[in-house]
Amino acid sequence: MAERSETHGRRLGGARFLGLVCVAVALGWPLAIRADGPMRDDPCAGDAPVTAPVAAPVAAAVATPDAPDVQATPEATGPDTAPLPSPAAVVQITDLLQFEPGSVQIHVGDVVEWKNVSVLVHTATGDPALAQIEGSAVLPEGAAPFDSGNLEPQATFRHRFDVPGTYQYFCIPHEAAKMTGTVVVLGPGTASSSTHARRND
């Protein structure tokens, strides 16, 4: 009878202890109870066996063929697309709807740069097909046309002249205002006139 009472007391004490532990777990108190084996994180979970977590299987690395090397596209060549040297002459596009200077003189292979110092949008266009007024754009025979497109304030445009002769160009938005300019391209061995040339020395 005494043994039964003692056993009942141990069971009752153990139940109370287990109840307190469950309350502590529910309140988030950090606990770790060592049982016969690994540490149990939750003593209220019953007598389920404690098993170590199984790592997720790691997928075997699959070798893939290397992607083919991407070849760089060769740069286009031509007067407007190849890298250009420093300009032999600089023309400013002003608020007065003028190219300044209005005429420049260079040699074959030289580059002219236009810079828009105006608050307006302008173009430097030497293409008769884009002109609305006859004579706004005149090119030597065999010369390629050129067009800067819209030049915003402070934007620049460069063009290399490879054919000798006289080029007349214009500004598309202000063609009606007779906003035109001239480039005189001298052939090899021809001396330039200082009255027309404005070089970027």
Is-above-0.95 flag for pTM?
A: no
Inform me whether the pLDDT recorded for 118 exceeds 80. Answer: yes
Q: What is the pLDDT of residue 63?
A: 41
- What is the average pLDDT across 15-34? 51
The rounded Cα 126 to chain-centroid distance in angstroms is 31
Cβ atoms within 10 A of the Cβ of 114, count?
Answer: 24
Most trustworthy range by pLDDT among 74-78, 147-151, 184-188: 147-151
Give yes or no for a cis peptide into 65 (omega within 30° of 0). Answer: no
Q: Is 109 left (phi over 0), alpha (psi -120 to 50) or beta?
A: left
Burial call 123-161: b when 16+ CB within 10 Å, e when fewer:
bbbbbeeebeeeebbbbeeebeebbbeebeeeeebbbbb
**How are beta strands 103-107 and 180-186 bridged, if at all?**
parallel
Inform me whether the pLDDT recorded for 72 exceeds 50. Answer: no
Q: Assess contact for 106 and 184: CB atoms under 8 A.
A: yes
Residue type, 155: A
- What is the average pLDDT across 135-150? 97
- Binned at pLDDT 50, 70 and 90, residue 85 comes out as confident
Q: How far is residue 176's CA from residue 74's CA, in Å, rounded to a whole number? A: 40
Torsion of CA 59, 60, 65, 66, to 10 degrees: 70
DSSP assignments along 165-183, one per residue:
EEEEEE-GGGTTTT-EEEE
